[in-house]
Structure 1
Amino acid sequence: MDACTLGDLLDVVGGPALRLHTAPAGQAVPVTEVVLHDGRTPLPRTPGALLLAVGVPADRAGPLLRAAAEAGMTGVVVRGADGPEEAAQAHGVALLSVAEDAAWHHVHLLLASAVAAGPAAASASADTGLGDLFALADAIATATGGATAIEDPRQRILAYSTVSGQPVDEDRRQSILGRQVPASAENTEQYRRLFAADRPLRLPALSGADLPRLAMPVRAGGETLGSVWVIDSDTLAPDAEETLAQGASTAALLLLRARAARELARHRGSDLLRRLLDGTAPDAPTAAARLGVDGPARVAAFVLDSAASVPDAERTALRLLDVVRLQCEARYGRHAGVLVDGVVYAVLPGPGERHRRLAEDIVARAGQALRVPVRAALGESVPGADGLADSRADADLVLRVLDAELPVATVDEVRARVILLRLGEVMGGRRELSAGAWRRVLAYDAGHGTEYARTLVSWFDAGCDVAGAAKLLAVHPNTCRYRLRQLQQHAGVDLDDPDERLVLWLQLRTLAGLSAATP
């Protein structure tokens, strides 16, 4: 997907709203996103980002320009006319400014919308076929004589005409800039009337500054796919209604084709991700780059709580996949997720500081939406695509040690549990590792009704301190000492040998699953 460039951004919102002071690398540099400065945390590495210097006076923005350059950002936006142009030139980042009285939240919305809108046509054309909708919007606008917009059922702008000389109003400008029709009670009523109609509908202007519209719903097989809107400035062609109806029919075909293209792309993305995770991708770096992952990343695994009662687990798991995809796409843009054997996997790109918070958010949202507890495991962060299979293996292990008290964890947080789990599997599968005194201790307890094994594990957990072990067991220290002496006599255990203590603890802990908390 072609990124929005600094020049594209200035074309959309340049002028009084946004002034360019200097661009050492030129205006063809990409602008990938708009980031608000938070002085409490270091700048994340976000190549191509445009940083809004919130809380930093323009004449003291020099250090921020240097930090932005080190983070790979394209430029910095300050508030006020006087900015450190020499520092921007020295660090190779663009310097822009907005008016002194501009509200940062409004600036962020304006620029973020423009960045999102800039590459939309190219992206849609390349990936989903929506680019043809722009050509259709131009064709309808030319034939009807009015500026045209095509929307989805949620009033999001999918395409708009660019025929010069046609009148437009502020409502259209704001809709295109934000890629969304502004919400209002009047708008809601107009959409209610439109979606109930089966022919082009003439709708009055919503305010004195706006223009009337000629609109037509877009349908296929009874399903509403969106709508087409034409601005009526009293210069529409006589056959505008017929032209609009034909255009809506063509839009339906294009939207259905785009839907099929999106589903195909999603299917391919899922297959590619599956190959990355099981280590069978022939060229892991290229495959990861196609999924939008280039550099450090980690695998996150999400699963429904096995202890919960789920009437239709397969369908609920698919809904969990949708939730994970939606949240990851909202955070990272184009993103793939895959469901494998009831587990939803996603690759989280970039440094891992925020991965756990994202996983917690997904778990909370999914649990609320699905009405089923969800658990999430994060594998180790790896430097590149070649390590994703290992990160997935980590995540799988973490899933096995999670519980209701710890529904989300990274592998580093539960490293001890994971290692003991794997040790238990290895030891249990090898005769020479699973033999030993621990079996004699358990057999003696079973035959004589004693609690030597639990006493021994409590003693280990208390650091081989009799008083501590007695407290864990809720018995007198003398009772604990007596049991340990009897244990050594009847089971042939030498508790003075540190190696034997270590092996005995490992076997009781991993093979017998005993701990001081074991009843």
Structure 2
Amino acid sequence: MDTWTLGELLDVGGGPAVTLHTAPAGLTVPVTEALLYDAHSPLPRAPGALLLAVGVRASAAGPLARAAAEAGMSGLVVRGQDGPLAEAESAGLALLSVAGDAAWHQVHLLLASAIGALPQALGFDRGGATTGPADGGAALGDLFALADAVAAAVGGATAIEDPRQRILAYSTVPGQRVDEDRRQGILGLQVPGSPENSEQYRVLFSAAGPVRLAALGGGAGGRGGDNLPRLAVAVRAGGETLGSLWVVDDGRLAPDAEEALVQGASTVALWLLRARAAQELARHQNGDLLRRLLDGTADPAGAAHRLGLGLGPDGEPAPVRVAAFVLDSAVSEPDGEQSALRLLELVRLQCRARYGRHACVLVDGVVYALLPALGERGSARHKGLAEDIVRQAGQALRVPVRASLGDVAPGLAEVAASRDDADLVLRLLGPGLPVASADEVRPRVTLLRLTEVLAERRELSTGAWRDILAYDAGHGTDYARTLVSWLDAGCDMAGAARLLAVHPNTCRYRLKQAQQQIGIDLDDPDERLVLWLQLRTLGGLDGSSRSFRGPV
């Protein structure tokens, strides 16, 4: 596979950020790069490019669409929804748009990173070989090779760090000196901490370019007398600090070491941005796959491999269970969407820590996680995980969180049914029951499902139960609640009286009056059963109710 198509780009990088309006040449047209339009320069010949219409109103971009098509480009990206649809279709050019308030440099970074990250996100290399499921980043070996290249250009042993002083890669060029600090950092892939180190990082990240830093002494941050000075530079992109580059200065650095280090930092920044983009795109792709599994619209074949799920002894996808997490809707949350995204990240972290992988997605305010169930006995382990997440997320977000567990799905084809179970259980949760599995609340789940079934069918929702409620409403009686309490008590008058806090003779009188006034036959077991089901489900009554929600 030598080029990537518009369809592939939209699959992994589309969504709310980029909208496709038309693709007259189809979704298989190649996409090679993203270009910014410059009104002061001639349009280059760029087959397969996406042209970003910088400085051009969407409604006035018709001539630019024709010019882009003549230059062999694949598509035009405008800002806003009123783009030149007719002109693009006539020219055979794909027309895409971004939101009206989107910054062009951010759009360019998004598309350029997506195009560069497609090999990793799609699981292919440029030679067409499958590299396995997307792991969210370029090969780590590429970054080590980059560290070697920078070390060779600068003339000293080089390390690439992230903003938290974790070592991402280091050079191994023969003949370059290293010191104790470097050896200790490489052993733990973490820079040793000390006040001296902290001060050097403060100086580095406040500087606009490379800085030369003195050798650290002995003590916590420098464990020996052979420590050497450093030449370092922050790795930045668009004002964001992505990490840093450190070079051991043994007095033999190249004359243009600072310039070479700046160029190396620019390349490292691009690599880190592409790795981040690949991670986000792979996460988006896996989230979309999980969303379709939950909806029952995805082909489960191959999904287990894509989502990192194991196989059972028979070679088929192992059983899984859907867990659902949601913020308490009863609590007013000023930034509910942001809190839901934070909840998603918390669930991902916990699932990764517990299972070494995660398959999580946010759908309509609910975070769903696919939990491996192979070897599980009951739901104790899953419930323990859900309880931990509810507790930690509630503390972090300062909003109560509820969690439910569906039934175990024997395979990915049955994931939608487990999701349905989890959704039903969510509706039963509250402050007194923040976490539950479908097994634990099976009777209540069954009644809730029966409520939906009875309400959907006219012949199942009609009957004497409506007459009883209407009579109570018109005459101020309490026949419905008395009847339900009596049935809940197993037709025991004393038990019903205790539920209602009245004398048994009062219950007896009410039931007799209900039969006479409404015409129900309480001697018929079938009528008793149907009345009980309809009043409990459609009427929302039970023996302890002080009120009911009324007919559905």
- Give the alignment's TM-score, normalised by structure 1: 0.71
The structural deviation recorded for 1:508 is: 0.7
Amino acid of the structure 2 residue aligned with 1:363: V
SS at structure 1 position matched to 2:368? strand
The structural deviation recorded for 1:386 is: 1.5
Quick check: 1:292 aligned with 2:325? no
Amino acid of the structure 2 residue aligned with 1:502: L
Residues 458-504 of structure 1: CA deviation (Å, up to 9, x unaligned): 12222322222211111122222222222233333333333322221
Quick check: 1:404 aligned with 2:431? yes
| 1:157–1:334 CA distance, 2 compared to 1 (3 A) | farther
Q: Does structure 2 conserve the Cα–Cα contact (< 8 Å) formed by 1:211 and 1:231?
A: no
From 386, 394, 410, give the equivalent of 1:383: 410
CA distance in 1, matches of 2:187, 2:380: 32
- What residue in structure 2 maps to residue 340 of structure 1? 363
- What residue in structure 2 maps to residue 330 of structure 1? 353
- What residue in structure 1 maps to residue 194 of structure 2? 184
SS at structure 2 position matched to 1:401? coil
Q: Where in structure 2 are the equivalents of 1:83-94 lying within 5 Å?
A: none
SS at structure 1 position matched to 2:233? strand
Residues 442-462 of structure 1: CA deviation (Å, up to 9, x unaligned): 222222211111112112222
The count of corresponding residues between Structure 1 and Structure 2 is 397
SS at structure 2 position matched to 1:444? helix
| 1:163–1:123 CA distance, 2 compared to 1 (3 A) | farther
The structural deviation recorded for 1:348 is: 1.5
Q: Where in structure 2 are the equivalents of 1:30-109 lying within 5 Å?
A: none
- What residue in structure 2 maps to residue 516 of structure 1? 543
The structural deviation recorded for 1:226 is: 0.3
The structural deviation recorded for 1:234 is: 4.5
SS at structure 1 position matched to 2:408? coil
The structural deviation recorded for 1:164 is: 4.3
CA distance in 1, matches of 2:304, 2:198: 42
Q: Does structure 1 conserve the Cα–Cα contact (< 8 Å) formed by 2:151 and 2:158?
A: yes
Residues 420-452 of structure 1: CA deviation (Å, up to 9, x unaligned): 111011111222212222222222222221111
CA distance in 2, matches of 1:245, 1:313: 42
Q: Where in structure 2 are the equivalents of 1:273-284 lying within 5 Å?
A: 273-282=290-299, 284=300
- What residue in structure 2 maps to residue 30 of structure 1? none
CA distance in 2, matches of 1:361, 1:301: 14
Q: Does structure 1 conserve the Cα–Cα contact (< 8 Å) formed by 2:133 and 2:305?
A: no
SS at structure 2 position matched to 1:503? helix
The structural deviation recorded for 1:225 is: 0.8
Quick check: 1:426 aligned with 2:486? no
CA distance in 1, matches of 2:169, 2:322: 35
Q: Does structure 1 conserve the Cα–Cα contact (< 8 Å) formed by 2:321 and 2:408?
A: yes
| 1:315–1:505 CA distance, 2 compared to 1 (3 A) | same
The structural deviation recorded for 1:280 is: 1.4
From 151, 156, 163, give the equivalent of 2:161: 151
Q: Name stretches of at least 5 consecutive residues in structure 2 with no aligned partner.
A: 1-130, 311-317, 547-552
- What residue in structure 2 maps to residue 84 of structure 1? none
- What residue in structure 1 maps to residue 151 of structure 2? 141
From 466, 470, 495, give the equivalent of 2:493: 466
Amino acid of the structure 2 residue aligned with 1:193: V
- What residue in structure 2 maps to residue 249 of structure 1? 266
Q: Does structure 1 conserve the Cα–Cα contact (< 8 Å) formed by 2:158 and 2:170?
A: yes
Quick check: 1:476 aligned with 2:499? no
| 1:230–1:244 CA distance, 2 compared to 1 (3 A) | same
| 1:339–1:177 CA distance, 2 compared to 1 (3 A) | same
Amino acid of the structure 2 residue aligned with 1:207: G
| 1:172–1:356 CA distance, 2 compared to 1 (3 A) | farther
CA distance in 1, matches of 2:186, 2:356: 20
- What residue in structure 1 maps to residue 340 of structure 2? 317
CA distance in 2, matches of 1:305, 1:488: 43
From 277, 283, 286, give the equivalent of 1:260: 277
Quick check: 1:370 aligned with 2:380? no
CA distance in 2, matches of 1:465, 1:182: 75
- What residue in structure 1 maps to residue 210 of structure 2? 200
| 1:254–1:502 CA distance, 2 compared to 1 (3 A) | same
SS at structure 1 position matched to 2:334? coil
CA distance in 1, matches of 2:179, 2:440: 56
CA distance in 2, matches of 1:438, 1:513: 11
Amino acid of the structure 1 residue aligned with 2:308: G
Residues 307-326 of structure 1: CA deviation (Å, up to 9, x unaligned): 22122333332333233223
- Percent identity, aligned pairs only, is 71
Q: Name stretches of at least 5 consecutive residues in structure 1 with no aligned partner.
A: 1-121
CA distance in 2, matches of 1:426, 1:124: 42
The structural deviation recorded for 1:332 is: 3.1
| 1:169–1:319 CA distance, 2 compared to 1 (3 A) | same
CA distance in 2, matches of 1:346, 1:363: 13
- What residue in structure 2 maps to residue 34 of structure 1? none
SS at structure 2 position matched to 1:381? strand
Q: Does structure 1 conserve the Cα–Cα contact (< 8 Å) formed by 2:393 and 2:401?
A: yes
CA distance in 2, matches of 1:331, 1:378: 16
CA distance in 2, matches of 1:235, 1:464: 96
CA distance in 1, matches of 2:413, 2:180: 50
CA distance in 2, matches of 1:242, 1:355: 54
CA distance in 2, matches of 1:256, 1:483: 75
From 238, 251, 257, give the equivalent of 1:221: 238
CA distance in 1, matches of 2:410, 2:185: 41
Q: Does structure 1 conserve the Cα–Cα contact (< 8 Å) formed by 2:181 and 2:192?
A: yes
RMSD of aligned residue pairs (Cα, Å): 2.5
Q: Does structure 1 conserve the Cα–Cα contact (< 8 Å) formed by 2:500 and 2:544?
A: no
Q: Does structure 1 conserve the Cα–Cα contact (< 8 Å) formed by 2:324 and 2:366?
A: yes
| 1:178–1:490 CA distance, 2 compared to 1 (3 A) | farther
Q: Does structure 2 conserve the Cα–Cα contact (< 8 Å) formed by 1:130 and 1:254?
A: no
Q: Does structure 2 conserve the Cα–Cα contact (< 8 Å) formed by 1:216 and 1:227?
A: yes
CA distance in 1, matches of 2:212, 2:383: 51
Q: Does structure 1 conserve the Cα–Cα contact (< 8 Å) formed by 2:136 and 2:276?
A: no
| 1:196–1:446 CA distance, 2 compared to 1 (3 A) | same
CA distance in 2, matches of 1:173, 1:502: 78
Q: Does structure 2 conserve the Cα–Cα contact (< 8 Å) formed by 1:301 and 1:376?
A: yes
- What residue in structure 2 maps to residue 88 of structure 1? none
CA distance in 2, matches of 1:175, 1:475: 77
The structural deviation recorded for 1:192 is: 1.3
The structural deviation recorded for 1:142 is: 2.9
The structural deviation recorded for 1:266 is: 1.4
The structural deviation recorded for 1:515 is: 0.8
Amino acid of the structure 2 residue aligned with 1:486: Q
CA distance in 1, matches of 2:132, 2:289: 20
Amino acid of the structure 1 residue aligned with 2:458: R
- What residue in structure 1 maps to residue 385 of structure 2? 358
Stretch of structure 1 that moved more, 161-170 or 342-351: 161-170
Q: Does structure 1 conserve the Cα–Cα contact (< 8 Å) formed by 2:135 and 2:279?
A: no
| 1:126–1:438 CA distance, 2 compared to 1 (3 A) | closer
